[in-house]
Structure 1
Protein backbone atom coordinates (compact mmCIF):
# COMPACT_ATOMS: atom_id res chain seq x y z
CA UNK A 1 0.00 0.00 0.00
CA UNK A 2 2.86 2.42 0.80
CA UNK A 3 4.43 1.84 -2.61
CA UNK A 4 1.07 2.18 -4.34
CA UNK A 5 0.43 5.49 -2.59
CA UNK A 6 3.76 6.76 -3.92
CA UNK A 7 3.09 5.61 -7.48
CA UNK A 8 -0.53 6.59 -8.08
CA UNK A 9 -0.12 10.39 -7.79
CA UNK A 10 2.49 10.13 -10.57
CA UNK A 11 0.09 8.50 -13.04
CA UNK A 12 -1.44 10.90 -15.56
CA UNK A 13 -5.21 11.25 -15.75
CA UNK A 14 -5.25 10.01 -19.35
CA UNK A 15 -4.40 6.53 -17.99
CA UNK A 16 -7.60 4.57 -17.33
CA UNK A 17 -6.10 1.12 -16.74
CA UNK A 18 -5.58 -0.23 -13.21
CA UNK A 19 -6.79 3.09 -11.78
CA UNK A 20 -9.44 3.19 -9.07
CA UNK A 21 -12.78 4.50 -10.33
CA UNK A 22 -11.84 4.06 -14.00
CA UNK A 23 -12.16 1.23 -16.51
CA UNK A 24 -12.49 0.43 -20.19
CA UNK A 25 -15.76 2.35 -20.45
CA UNK A 26 -13.99 5.44 -19.05
CA UNK A 27 -11.45 5.34 -21.87
CA UNK A 28 -14.16 4.69 -24.47
CA UNK A 29 -16.26 7.58 -23.10
CA UNK A 30 -13.32 10.01 -23.16
CA UNK A 31 -12.41 9.10 -26.74
CA UNK A 32 -16.02 9.41 -27.89
CA UNK A 33 -16.35 12.82 -26.23
CA UNK A 34 -13.12 14.03 -27.84
CA UNK A 35 -14.45 12.94 -31.23
CA UNK A 36 -17.84 14.58 -30.65
CA UNK A 37 -16.38 17.92 -29.51
CA UNK A 38 -13.90 18.03 -32.38
CA UNK A 39 -16.53 17.32 -35.02
CA UNK A 40 -18.82 19.95 -33.49
CA UNK A 41 -16.06 22.49 -34.09
CA UNK A 42 -15.48 21.23 -37.66
CA UNK A 43 -12.06 19.84 -36.76
CA UNK A 44 -10.47 16.66 -38.09
CA UNK A 45 -9.00 14.10 -35.69
CA UNK A 46 -5.96 11.99 -36.46
CA UNK A 47 -5.62 8.88 -34.29
CA UNK A 48 -2.86 6.32 -33.93
CA UNK A 49 -3.77 3.11 -32.12
CA UNK A 50 -0.47 1.80 -30.79
CA UNK A 51 0.15 -1.91 -30.37
CA UNK A 52 3.11 -2.91 -28.22
CA UNK A 53 4.83 -6.27 -28.62
CA UNK A 54 4.47 -8.07 -25.25
CA UNK A 55 4.61 -4.82 -23.29
CA UNK A 56 4.32 -6.35 -19.81
CA UNK A 57 7.11 -8.84 -20.55
CA UNK A 58 9.59 -6.18 -21.72
CA UNK A 59 9.74 -3.96 -18.63
CA UNK A 60 13.41 -3.55 -17.65
CA UNK A 61 13.86 -4.35 -13.97
CA UNK A 62 16.74 -1.92 -13.45
CA UNK A 63 14.76 0.94 -15.02
CA UNK A 64 11.76 0.08 -12.86
CA UNK A 65 13.88 0.16 -9.69
CA UNK A 66 15.43 3.45 -10.83
CA UNK A 67 11.97 5.01 -11.12
CA UNK A 68 10.98 3.77 -7.67
CA UNK A 69 14.14 5.29 -6.21
CA UNK A 70 13.28 8.62 -7.82
CA UNK A 71 9.91 8.47 -6.03
CA UNK A 72 11.79 8.05 -2.73
CA UNK A 73 10.15 4.70 -2.03
CA UNK A 74 11.07 3.46 1.45
CA UNK A 75 14.29 1.44 1.50
CA UNK A 76 12.62 -1.57 3.09
CA UNK A 77 9.90 -1.65 0.43
CA UNK A 78 12.51 -1.23 -2.29
CA UNK A 79 14.50 -4.19 -0.97
CA UNK A 80 11.36 -6.36 -1.00
CA UNK A 81 10.62 -5.43 -4.62
CA UNK A 82 14.25 -6.13 -5.56
CA UNK A 83 13.99 -9.56 -3.93
CA UNK A 84 10.85 -10.30 -5.96
CA UNK A 85 12.38 -9.27 -9.28
CA UNK A 86 16.16 -9.43 -9.19
CA UNK A 87 18.17 -12.62 -9.68
CA UNK A 88 15.11 -14.70 -10.54
CA UNK A 89 15.93 -17.58 -12.87
CA UNK A 90 13.97 -19.76 -15.24
CA UNK A 91 14.54 -22.75 -17.49
CA UNK A 92 12.58 -24.45 -20.24
CA UNK A 93 11.79 -28.14 -19.92
CA UNK A 94 10.76 -30.25 -22.92
CA UNK A 95 10.01 -33.86 -22.05
CA UNK A 96 13.14 -35.02 -20.18
CA UNK A 97 15.47 -32.24 -21.28
CA UNK A 98 15.95 -28.97 -19.37
CA UNK A 99 17.66 -25.89 -20.73
CA UNK A 100 20.31 -24.00 -18.72
CA UNK A 101 18.83 -21.56 -16.19
CA UNK A 102 18.77 -17.93 -17.28
CA UNK A 103 18.43 -14.81 -15.15
CA UNK A 104 15.14 -12.98 -15.82
CA UNK A 105 15.87 -9.28 -16.26
CA UNK A 106 12.60 -8.11 -17.79
CA UNK A 107 8.86 -8.27 -17.21
CA UNK A 108 6.43 -7.59 -14.38
CA UNK A 109 5.27 -10.69 -12.53
CA UNK A 110 1.84 -12.09 -13.32
CA UNK A 111 -0.43 -12.23 -10.30
CA UNK A 112 1.61 -9.76 -8.25
CA UNK A 113 -0.67 -7.09 -6.75
CA UNK A 114 1.96 -4.44 -7.46
CA UNK A 115 2.43 -5.32 -11.14
CA UNK A 116 -0.35 -3.05 -12.51
CA UNK A 117 1.00 -0.02 -10.65
CA UNK A 118 4.60 -0.81 -11.58
CA UNK A 119 3.65 -1.07 -15.25
CA UNK A 120 1.66 2.18 -15.14
CA UNK A 121 4.64 3.98 -13.62
CA UNK A 122 6.94 2.51 -16.27
CA UNK A 123 4.71 3.50 -19.18
CA UNK A 124 4.14 6.95 -17.66
CA UNK A 125 7.82 7.70 -18.18
CA UNK A 126 7.40 7.05 -21.90
CA UNK A 127 4.29 9.19 -22.43
CA UNK A 128 5.31 12.03 -20.12
CA UNK A 129 7.53 13.46 -22.85
CA UNK A 130 4.46 14.04 -25.03
CA UNK A 131 3.02 16.66 -22.67
CA UNK A 132 4.58 19.64 -24.44
CA UNK A 133 3.26 18.65 -27.87
CA UNK A 134 -0.10 19.62 -29.40
CA UNK A 135 -3.14 17.38 -29.51
CA UNK A 136 -6.84 18.18 -29.27
CA UNK A 137 -7.98 21.01 -26.99
CA UNK A 138 -11.01 19.97 -24.93
CA UNK A 139 -12.42 22.14 -22.15
CA UNK A 140 -9.34 24.34 -22.15
CA UNK A 141 -7.03 21.34 -21.83
CA UNK A 142 -4.70 19.84 -24.44
CA UNK A 143 -4.99 16.05 -24.78
CA UNK A 144 -2.71 14.09 -27.10
CA UNK A 145 -2.93 10.57 -25.69
CA UNK A 146 -5.37 8.21 -24.02
CA UNK A 147 -4.39 4.94 -22.37
CA UNK A 148 -5.80 1.79 -20.88
CA UNK A 149 -2.73 -0.02 -19.53
CA UNK A 150 -0.66 -0.62 -22.69
CA UNK A 151 -3.53 0.16 -25.10
CA UNK A 152 -2.50 3.62 -26.23
CA UNK A 153 -4.14 6.10 -28.59
CA UNK A 154 -2.23 9.15 -29.84
CA UNK A 155 -4.45 12.09 -30.80
CA UNK A 156 -3.76 15.13 -33.01
CA UNK A 157 -5.53 17.64 -35.26
CA UNK A 158 -3.30 17.03 -38.29
CA UNK A 159 -0.99 14.36 -39.65
CA UNK A 160 2.19 16.39 -39.05
CA UNK A 161 1.49 16.64 -35.32
CA UNK A 162 0.51 12.98 -35.16
CA UNK A 163 3.76 11.96 -36.87
CA UNK A 164 5.69 13.90 -34.21
CA UNK A 165 3.79 12.09 -31.45
CA UNK A 166 4.43 8.72 -33.10
CA UNK A 167 8.16 9.47 -33.46
CA UNK A 168 8.50 10.49 -29.81
CA UNK A 169 6.48 7.52 -28.56
CA UNK A 170 8.56 5.13 -30.67
CA UNK A 171 11.87 6.65 -29.53
CA UNK A 172 10.96 6.73 -25.85
CA UNK A 173 9.45 3.26 -25.99
CA UNK A 174 12.62 1.88 -27.54
CA UNK A 175 14.72 3.58 -24.86
CA UNK A 176 12.64 1.87 -22.18
CA UNK A 177 12.78 -1.52 -23.89
CA UNK A 178 9.26 -1.53 -25.35
CA UNK A 179 8.65 -2.07 -29.04
CA UNK A 180 5.87 -0.69 -31.22
CA UNK A 181 4.46 -3.40 -33.45
CA UNK A 182 4.35 -1.62 -36.81
CA UNK A 183 2.20 -4.38 -38.33
CA UNK A 184 -0.58 -3.90 -35.76
CA UNK A 185 -0.18 -0.19 -34.99
CA UNK A 186 -2.83 1.52 -37.13
CA UNK A 187 -4.11 5.00 -37.86
CA UNK A 188 -7.51 6.54 -38.52
CA UNK A 189 -8.67 9.96 -39.67
CA UNK A 190 -12.06 11.02 -38.32
CA UNK A 191 -13.63 13.83 -40.31
CA UNK A 192 -16.82 15.11 -41.88
CA UNK A 193 -14.82 15.13 -45.11
CA UNK A 194 -14.69 11.65 -46.64
CA UNK A 195 -11.59 9.70 -47.66
CA UNK A 196 -8.85 11.77 -46.01
CA UNK A 197 -5.56 9.92 -46.36
CA UNK A 198 -2.57 10.15 -44.04
CA UNK A 199 0.83 8.61 -44.78
CA UNK A 200 2.37 8.03 -41.36
CA UNK A 201 5.35 5.89 -40.40
CA UNK A 202 7.05 4.03 -37.55
CA UNK A 203 10.77 3.49 -38.11
CA UNK A 204 10.31 3.79 -41.86
CA UNK A 205 7.36 1.39 -42.00
CA UNK A 206 4.13 2.89 -43.33
CA UNK A 207 1.22 2.40 -40.96
CA UNK A 208 -2.03 0.91 -42.16
CA UNK A 209 -4.96 3.35 -42.28
CA UNK A 210 -8.33 1.96 -41.22
CA UNK A 211 -11.88 3.21 -41.72
CA UNK A 212 -12.94 1.41 -38.53
CA UNK A 213 -11.11 0.11 -35.47
CA UNK A 214 -12.19 -1.96 -32.48
CA UNK A 215 -10.97 -0.03 -29.43
CA UNK A 216 -11.43 -1.77 -26.07
CA UNK A 217 -14.33 -3.77 -27.47
CA UNK A 218 -16.15 -0.90 -29.21
CA UNK A 219 -16.08 0.02 -32.89
CA UNK A 220 -14.74 3.47 -33.78
CA UNK A 221 -15.50 4.55 -37.37
CA UNK A 222 -14.00 7.30 -39.52
CA UNK A 223 -17.25 9.27 -39.60
CA UNK A 224 -17.18 9.51 -35.79
CA UNK A 225 -20.71 8.14 -35.44
CA UNK A 226 -22.03 5.27 -33.31
CA UNK A 227 -24.32 3.54 -35.81
CA UNK A 228 -21.93 0.67 -36.59
CA UNK A 229 -21.18 0.08 -32.91
CA UNK A 230 -24.86 0.07 -31.89
CA UNK A 231 -25.77 -2.34 -34.70
CA UNK A 232 -22.91 -4.63 -33.65
CA UNK A 233 -24.09 -4.55 -30.01
CA UNK A 234 -27.63 -5.50 -31.05
CA UNK A 235 -26.35 -8.32 -33.28
CA UNK A 236 -24.13 -9.73 -30.51
CA UNK A 237 -26.96 -9.54 -27.98
CA UNK A 238 -29.31 -11.32 -30.40
CA UNK A 239 -26.75 -14.08 -30.97
CA UNK A 240 -26.32 -14.63 -27.24
CA UNK A 241 -30.07 -14.53 -26.71
CA UNK A 242 -30.57 -17.28 -29.29
CA UNK A 243 -27.92 -19.41 -27.58
CA UNK A 244 -29.67 -18.99 -24.23
CA UNK A 245 -33.23 -19.14 -25.55
CA UNK A 246 -33.85 -22.71 -24.28
CA UNK A 247 -32.99 -21.56 -20.76
CA UNK A 248 -34.77 -18.21 -20.95
CA UNK A 249 -38.02 -19.76 -22.22
CA UNK A 250 -37.95 -22.80 -19.92
CA UNK A 251 -41.02 -22.57 -17.68
CA UNK A 252 -39.48 -25.05 -15.25
CA UNK A 253 -36.93 -22.40 -14.30
CA UNK A 254 -38.18 -19.60 -12.06
CA UNK A 255 -38.76 -16.21 -13.64
CA UNK A 256 -36.29 -14.72 -11.14
CA UNK A 257 -33.50 -17.03 -12.31
CA UNK A 258 -34.27 -16.35 -15.98
CA UNK A 259 -34.28 -12.62 -15.33
CA UNK A 260 -30.91 -12.88 -13.59
CA UNK A 261 -29.51 -14.85 -16.53
CA UNK A 262 -30.75 -12.14 -18.92
CA UNK A 263 -29.18 -9.40 -16.81
CA UNK A 264 -25.92 -11.32 -16.49
CA UNK A 265 -25.36 -12.64 -20.03
CA UNK A 266 -27.37 -10.41 -22.40
CA UNK A 267 -27.64 -6.92 -20.95
CA UNK A 268 -23.87 -6.31 -20.50
CA UNK A 269 -23.22 -7.24 -24.14
CA UNK A 270 -26.03 -5.00 -25.40
CA UNK A 271 -25.26 -2.00 -23.21
CA UNK A 272 -21.44 -2.03 -23.06
CA UNK A 273 -20.16 1.46 -23.75
CA UNK A 274 -23.66 2.95 -24.06
CA UNK A 275 -22.62 5.83 -21.77
CA UNK A 276 -20.70 7.23 -24.73
CA UNK A 277 -23.41 6.91 -27.38
CA UNK A 278 -24.55 10.23 -28.80
Structure 2
Protein backbone atom coordinates (compact mmCIF):
# COMPACT_ATOMS: atom_id res chain seq x y z
CA UNK A 1 0.00 0.00 0.00
CA UNK A 2 2.98 2.38 0.33
CA UNK A 3 3.63 4.19 -2.96
CA UNK A 4 5.16 7.44 -1.71
CA UNK A 5 7.79 8.29 0.91
CA UNK A 6 8.00 11.59 2.78
CA UNK A 7 11.63 12.02 3.78
CA UNK A 8 11.47 14.65 6.54
CA UNK A 9 14.33 16.62 8.05
CA UNK A 10 13.72 18.82 11.10
CA UNK A 11 15.85 21.93 10.79
CA UNK A 12 18.39 22.05 13.64
CA UNK A 13 16.29 19.83 15.88
CA UNK A 14 18.76 19.44 18.76
CA UNK A 15 19.47 23.18 18.79
CA UNK A 16 15.80 24.18 18.86
CA UNK A 17 14.07 21.83 21.29
CA UNK A 18 11.77 23.97 23.42
CA UNK A 19 12.63 23.42 27.10
CA UNK A 20 9.08 24.19 28.27
CA UNK A 21 7.59 21.50 26.05
CA UNK A 22 10.40 19.07 26.88
CA UNK A 23 9.66 19.42 30.60
CA UNK A 24 5.95 18.84 29.87
CA UNK A 25 6.86 15.61 28.06
CA UNK A 26 9.17 14.49 30.88
CA UNK A 27 6.36 15.06 33.37
CA UNK A 28 4.30 12.52 31.42
CA UNK A 29 7.00 9.84 31.57
CA UNK A 30 9.02 10.38 34.75
CA UNK A 31 7.34 10.35 38.16
CA UNK A 32 10.49 10.94 40.24
CA UNK A 33 10.91 14.74 40.67
CA UNK A 34 14.58 14.36 41.63
CA UNK A 35 15.34 12.52 38.41
CA UNK A 36 13.44 15.14 36.41
CA UNK A 37 15.47 17.84 38.15
CA UNK A 38 18.75 16.22 37.05
CA UNK A 39 17.60 16.14 33.42
CA UNK A 40 16.48 19.78 33.57
CA UNK A 41 19.92 20.75 34.92
CA UNK A 42 21.46 18.88 31.98
CA UNK A 43 19.28 20.86 29.57
CA UNK A 44 20.13 24.20 31.16
CA UNK A 45 23.82 23.54 31.86
CA UNK A 46 24.92 26.15 29.31
CA UNK A 47 27.90 26.13 26.95
CA UNK A 48 31.34 27.72 26.77
CA UNK A 49 31.86 29.61 23.50
CA UNK A 50 35.14 31.41 22.84
CA UNK A 51 35.93 31.22 26.54
CA UNK A 52 32.61 32.74 27.61
CA UNK A 53 29.73 31.01 29.38
CA UNK A 54 26.35 31.21 27.64
CA UNK A 55 23.02 30.05 29.04
CA UNK A 56 21.04 27.51 27.04
CA UNK A 57 17.45 28.69 26.73
CA UNK A 58 16.57 25.98 24.22
CA UNK A 59 18.01 22.85 22.63
CA UNK A 60 19.80 19.75 23.91
CA UNK A 61 23.57 19.14 23.65
CA UNK A 62 24.08 17.39 20.30
CA UNK A 63 26.35 14.42 20.88
CA UNK A 64 25.37 14.33 24.55
CA UNK A 65 24.64 10.86 25.85
CA UNK A 66 21.10 11.82 26.90
CA UNK A 67 20.15 13.73 23.76
CA UNK A 68 18.87 10.82 21.61
CA UNK A 69 16.83 9.49 24.56
CA UNK A 70 15.34 12.93 25.21
CA UNK A 71 14.60 13.28 21.49
CA UNK A 72 12.71 9.98 21.56
CA UNK A 73 10.64 11.05 24.58
CA UNK A 74 9.96 14.49 23.09
CA UNK A 75 8.94 13.32 19.63
CA UNK A 76 6.94 10.43 21.06
CA UNK A 77 4.45 13.04 22.27
CA UNK A 78 4.99 15.71 19.63
CA UNK A 79 4.79 13.32 16.66
CA UNK A 80 4.10 9.63 17.31
CA UNK A 81 0.98 9.80 19.47
CA UNK A 82 -0.45 12.70 17.48
CA UNK A 83 0.21 10.82 14.22
CA UNK A 84 -1.61 7.68 15.41
CA UNK A 85 -4.52 9.37 17.20
CA UNK A 86 -5.19 12.42 15.05
CA UNK A 87 -3.43 12.54 11.70
CA UNK A 88 -4.39 9.03 10.57
CA UNK A 89 -8.07 9.94 10.95
CA UNK A 90 -7.63 12.68 8.33
CA UNK A 91 -6.04 10.36 5.77
CA UNK A 92 -8.20 7.96 3.74
CA UNK A 93 -5.41 5.65 2.61
CA UNK A 94 -2.76 3.72 4.51
CA UNK A 95 0.03 5.71 6.15
CA UNK A 96 2.77 4.87 8.62
CA UNK A 97 5.62 6.68 10.38
CA UNK A 98 9.02 5.16 11.19
CA UNK A 99 11.21 7.20 13.51
CA UNK A 100 14.39 7.06 15.58
CA UNK A 101 15.29 10.21 17.56
CA UNK A 102 14.81 13.12 15.12
CA UNK A 103 15.26 10.99 12.00
CA UNK A 104 11.97 9.82 10.49
CA UNK A 105 10.18 8.89 7.28
CA UNK A 106 6.48 8.55 6.49
CA UNK A 107 4.86 6.25 3.96
CA UNK A 108 1.66 7.18 2.09
CA UNK A 109 -0.54 5.63 -0.59
CA UNK A 110 -0.98 8.60 -2.92
CA UNK A 111 0.97 11.74 -3.75
CA UNK A 112 -2.00 13.92 -2.75
CA UNK A 113 -2.08 12.27 0.68
CA UNK A 114 1.70 12.57 1.01
CA UNK A 115 1.44 16.32 0.35
CA UNK A 116 -1.40 16.60 2.86
CA UNK A 117 0.60 14.73 5.51
CA UNK A 118 3.65 16.95 5.00
CA UNK A 119 1.47 20.04 5.36
CA UNK A 120 0.05 18.67 8.64
CA UNK A 121 3.56 17.78 9.88
CA UNK A 122 4.80 21.31 9.22
CA UNK A 123 1.89 22.81 11.16
CA UNK A 124 2.36 20.37 14.05
CA UNK A 125 6.09 21.08 14.38
CA UNK A 126 5.50 24.83 14.19
CA UNK A 127 3.35 24.58 17.32
CA UNK A 128 6.45 23.34 19.16
CA UNK A 129 8.79 25.95 17.63
CA UNK A 130 10.31 23.48 15.21
CA UNK A 131 10.66 23.81 11.45
CA UNK A 132 10.94 21.42 8.51
CA UNK A 133 14.05 21.94 6.38
CA UNK A 134 12.80 22.86 2.89
CA UNK A 135 16.16 21.93 1.33
CA UNK A 136 16.38 18.44 2.83
CA UNK A 137 12.72 17.39 2.98
CA UNK A 138 11.19 15.75 -0.08
CA UNK A 139 8.41 13.50 -1.32
CA UNK A 140 9.49 10.64 -3.58
CA UNK A 141 7.64 7.89 -5.41
CA UNK A 142 8.66 4.55 -3.95
CA UNK A 143 6.96 1.17 -4.16
CA UNK A 144 5.81 -1.54 -6.53
CA UNK A 145 4.83 0.90 -9.30
CA UNK A 146 7.76 3.31 -8.96
CA UNK A 147 10.07 1.52 -11.39
CA UNK A 148 7.48 1.27 -14.17
CA UNK A 149 6.31 4.86 -13.66
CA UNK A 150 9.90 6.14 -13.74
CA UNK A 151 10.49 4.24 -16.99
CA UNK A 152 7.35 5.77 -18.52
CA UNK A 153 8.68 9.22 -17.63
CA UNK A 154 11.99 8.44 -19.32
CA UNK A 155 13.96 7.99 -16.08
CA UNK A 156 16.50 5.16 -15.95
CA UNK A 157 16.46 4.91 -12.14
CA UNK A 158 13.93 5.30 -9.35
CA UNK A 159 14.48 7.72 -6.48
CA UNK A 160 16.18 6.52 -3.31
CA UNK A 161 16.13 7.81 0.25
CA UNK A 162 18.56 7.76 3.18
CA UNK A 163 17.50 6.51 6.61
CA UNK A 164 19.62 5.49 9.62
CA UNK A 165 22.82 5.08 7.63
CA UNK A 166 21.29 3.11 4.75
CA UNK A 167 20.30 4.04 1.22
CA UNK A 168 16.90 2.48 0.53
CA UNK A 169 16.16 1.66 -3.11
CA UNK A 170 13.58 -0.19 -5.17
CA UNK A 171 14.72 -3.67 -6.13
CA UNK A 172 13.12 -6.87 -7.34
CA UNK A 173 12.88 -10.40 -5.96
CA UNK A 174 13.91 -13.50 -7.91
CA UNK A 175 10.30 -13.73 -9.08
CA UNK A 176 10.42 -10.16 -10.37
CA UNK A 177 8.27 -8.63 -7.65
CA UNK A 178 9.01 -5.32 -5.94
CA UNK A 179 11.42 -5.59 -3.03
CA UNK A 180 12.85 -2.75 -0.96
CA UNK A 181 16.61 -3.15 -0.72
CA UNK A 182 19.27 -1.32 1.27
CA UNK A 183 22.97 -0.57 1.08
CA UNK A 184 25.32 1.39 3.32
CA UNK A 185 25.02 5.07 2.48
CA UNK A 186 28.09 6.58 0.81
CA UNK A 187 28.47 9.17 3.56
CA UNK A 188 28.37 6.58 6.35
CA UNK A 189 30.82 4.29 4.55
CA UNK A 190 33.24 7.15 3.90
CA UNK A 191 33.06 8.41 7.50
CA UNK A 192 33.49 4.91 8.90
CA UNK A 193 36.61 4.25 6.81
CA UNK A 194 37.98 7.68 7.71
CA UNK A 195 37.61 6.90 11.43
CA UNK A 196 39.24 3.50 10.91
CA UNK A 197 42.17 5.11 9.09
CA UNK A 198 42.67 7.68 11.87
CA UNK A 199 42.50 5.01 14.57
CA UNK A 200 45.04 2.72 12.85
CA UNK A 201 47.39 5.65 12.28
CA UNK A 202 47.13 6.71 15.93
CA UNK A 203 47.73 3.32 17.58
CA UNK A 204 50.09 1.58 15.15
CA UNK A 205 53.23 2.21 17.26
CA UNK A 206 51.60 2.19 20.69
CA UNK A 207 50.48 -1.44 21.00
CA UNK A 208 51.52 -4.94 20.02
CA UNK A 209 50.03 -6.34 16.83
CA UNK A 210 48.00 -8.98 18.72
CA UNK A 211 46.37 -6.27 20.87
CA UNK A 212 45.56 -4.17 17.80
CA UNK A 213 44.05 -7.29 16.20
CA UNK A 214 41.67 -7.81 19.14
CA UNK A 215 40.27 -4.28 18.92
CA UNK A 216 40.18 -4.37 15.12
CA UNK A 217 38.20 -7.63 15.25
CA UNK A 218 35.73 -6.00 17.62
CA UNK A 219 35.34 -2.98 15.32
CA UNK A 220 34.69 -5.22 12.31
CA UNK A 221 32.10 -7.28 14.17
CA UNK A 222 30.38 -4.07 15.28
CA UNK A 223 30.18 -2.91 11.66
CA UNK A 224 28.74 -6.24 10.49
CA UNK A 225 26.23 -6.29 13.36
CA UNK A 226 24.77 -3.00 12.14
CA UNK A 227 25.24 -3.13 8.37
CA UNK A 228 25.06 -6.91 7.85
CA UNK A 229 21.59 -6.75 6.33
CA UNK A 230 20.09 -8.58 3.34
CA UNK A 231 21.11 -7.00 0.01
CA UNK A 232 24.08 -5.21 1.63
CA UNK A 233 26.61 -8.01 1.12
CA UNK A 234 28.64 -6.14 -1.50
CA UNK A 235 29.01 -3.08 0.72
CA UNK A 236 30.24 -4.93 3.81
CA UNK A 237 32.61 -7.00 1.64
CA UNK A 238 33.97 -3.73 0.29
CA UNK A 239 34.31 -2.35 3.83
CA UNK A 240 36.31 -5.41 4.89
CA UNK A 241 38.71 -5.18 1.93
CA UNK A 242 39.19 -1.42 2.38
CA UNK A 243 39.91 -1.98 6.08
CA UNK A 244 42.49 -4.65 5.21
CA UNK A 245 44.25 -2.22 2.86
CA UNK A 246 44.32 0.45 5.57
CA UNK A 247 45.58 -2.07 8.13
CA UNK A 248 48.35 -3.18 5.80
CA UNK A 249 49.35 0.43 5.10
CA UNK A 250 49.68 1.45 8.75
CA UNK A 251 51.06 -1.83 10.13
CA UNK A 252 53.70 -1.62 7.44
CA UNK A 253 54.72 1.80 8.76
CA UNK A 254 55.30 0.72 12.34
CA UNK A 255 58.97 1.50 11.79
CA UNK A 256 61.04 3.35 9.19
CA UNK A 257 61.85 -0.02 7.71
CA UNK A 258 59.01 -1.69 5.85
CA UNK A 259 57.77 -4.54 8.06
CA UNK A 260 56.38 -6.78 5.31
CA UNK A 261 54.92 -6.89 1.83
CA UNK A 262 51.34 -7.69 0.89
CA UNK A 263 52.04 -11.41 0.57
CA UNK A 264 53.50 -11.54 4.08
CA UNK A 265 50.49 -9.61 5.36
CA UNK A 266 48.03 -12.09 3.82
CA UNK A 267 50.01 -14.96 5.36
CA UNK A 268 49.76 -13.23 8.73
CA UNK A 269 45.98 -12.96 8.22
CA UNK A 270 45.81 -16.72 7.65
CA UNK A 271 47.56 -17.32 10.98
CA UNK A 272 45.58 -14.66 12.83
CA UNK A 273 42.33 -14.23 10.88
CA UNK A 274 40.03 -11.26 11.34
CA UNK A 275 36.22 -11.65 11.19
CA UNK A 276 34.99 -11.98 7.61
CA UNK A 277 31.84 -10.15 6.46
CA UNK A 278 28.61 -11.83 7.46
CA UNK A 279 24.94 -11.00 6.92
CA UNK A 280 23.43 -10.92 10.40
CA UNK A 281 19.84 -9.99 9.52
CA UNK A 282 17.50 -11.33 6.87
CA UNK A 283 15.06 -8.43 6.64
CA UNK A 284 12.84 -10.33 4.22
CA UNK A 285 11.77 -12.65 7.04
CA UNK A 286 9.97 -9.61 8.48
CA UNK A 287 7.61 -9.14 5.56
Q: Which range, TM-score by smaller chain? A: 0.5 to 0.7
User: Paired residue for 2:266, among 241, 250, 268?
Assistant: 250
- Which residue in the other structure is 2:26 paired with? 68
Structure 2 match to 1:212 = 160
Alpha-carbon shift at residue 236 of structure 1 (Å) = 5.2
**TM-score (norm: length of structure 2):** 0.58
Q: 1:145-168 CA deviation, whole Å, 9 max, x = no partner? A: 011221111111112221222112
Structure 2: which 5+ residue stretches go unaligned? 152-157, 172-177, 184-229, 246-261
Aligned counterparts of 2:39 and 2:165: Cα–Cα separation in 1 = 34
Q: Describe the SS at the equivalent of 2:59.
A: coil
1:157–1:79 Cα change, 3 Å: same
* Matches for 1:147-186 after TM superposition, within 5 Å: 147-186=99-138
Partner Cα distance (1:273, 1:124) in 2: 27
Q: Does 1:92 align with 2:108?
A: no
Equivalent residues in 2 for 1:1-278, closer than 5 Å: 38=1, 45-71=3-29, 73-86=31-44, 88-93=45-50, 98=51, 101-109=53-61, 113-127=65-79, 128-131=81-84, 132-134=86-88, 143-193=95-145, 194-195=148-149, 211-222=159-170, 224-226=178-180, 229=183, 233-234=233-234, 237-238=237-238, 240-241=240-241, 244=244, 246=262, 250-253=266-269, 255=271, 257-258=272-273, 261-263=274-276, 266-267=277-278, 271=279, 274-276=282-284
Contact 1:218 1:273 in 2 (8 A): no
Alpha-carbon spacing, 1:152–1:110, altered in 2? closer, same or farther (3 Å)? closer
Cα distance between partner residues in 2 of 1:146 and 1:248 = 48
Question: Which structure exhibits the higher relative contact order, with contacts defined as CA atoms closer than 8 Å and separated by 6 or more residues?
Answer: 1
Q: What corresponds to 2:253 in structure 1?
A: none
Task: Quote the Cα distance in structure 1 between the aligned partners of 2:137 and 2:99.
Answer: 14
Higher helix share: 2
Tell me how far 1:123 sits from its aligned partner. Answer: 0.9
Cα–Cα, structure 1 residues 226 and 215, in superposed 2: closer, same or farther, change >3 Å? Answer: same
Kindly tell me: are residues 164 and 211 of structure 1, through their superposed partners in 2, closer, same or farther at Cα, counting changes over 3 Å?
Answer: same
Provide the rounded CA distance (Å) in 1 between the counterparts of 2:239 and 2:233.
10
What is the TM-score when the length of structure 1 is the normalising length? 0.60
Q: Which runs of 5+ in 1 are unaligned?
A: 1-37, 39-43, 198-209
Report the 3-state secondary structure (helix = DSSP H, G, I; strand = E; otherwise coil) of the residue aligned with 1:252: helix
Structure index of larger Rg? 2
* Superimposed CA distance per residue, residues 57-93 of structure 1 (whole angstroms, 9 cap, x where no aligned partner): 221112111222244622222223233333x333421
Q: What is the CA-CA distance between 1:254 and the residue it aligns to?
A: 5.0
Segments of 4+ in structure 1 off by > 6 A? none
Task: Measure how far apart 1:262 and its partner are.
Answer: 3.2
The number of residues matched between the two structures is 206
Counterpart residue number, 1:8: none
Q: CA 1:136–1:91 in 2, change beyond 3 Å: closer, same or farther?
A: same
